[in-house]
Structure 1
Amino acid sequence: MNMTLTSPQRAENIDGKAAARRLLAEVAAECRAFVDQGHHPTLAVVLVGDDPASQVYVRNKLRTAEEVGIRSLEYRFPANLSESELLATLDKLNLDPLVNGILVQLPLPRHINEQAILRAIDPLKDVDGFHPENVGGLVHGQAVLTPCTPAGCLRLLQDYCGDLSGKHAVVVGRSNIVGKPMAALLLKAHCSVTTLHSRSQDAAALAAQADILIAAVGQPEMIDASWIKPGAVVIDVGINRVTRANGSSRLVGDVDAASVSTVAAALTPVPGGVGPMTIACLMQNTLQATRLQTASAVLSHCG
Structure 2
Amino acid sequence: MGSSCSKNNNATPTTDVVVTTNDTVATTYNDSNSCLLAVQFDNEKSIRVLKYLSAKDEWTICHEIPVKGLYRATIVKQYLLFHDWQNGVRVCCYDTTTRVIRTLKPLKEDQPYWSCYCATEFQERLYLIGADTEDNRKVYVWDPESDVLTEAPKLNIGRTRTTALKQEGYLYVAGGMVTKDDMVSYNARDTNSVERFNPRRNCWERCAPLLQARCVAGMASAGRFIYVVGGDCVSTPTNMVERYDTRINKWTQLIAMQVPKVFPATIYFNNRLTVCGNSSNDEDCALVEEFDETTNKWIRKNKMPI
In terms of fraction of residues, the more helix-rich structure is 1
After TM superposition, the score normalised by the length of structure 1 is 0.29
In terms of fraction of residues, the more strand-rich structure is 2
Larger radius of gyration: 1
Bigger relative contact order (CA 8 A; separation at least 6)? 1
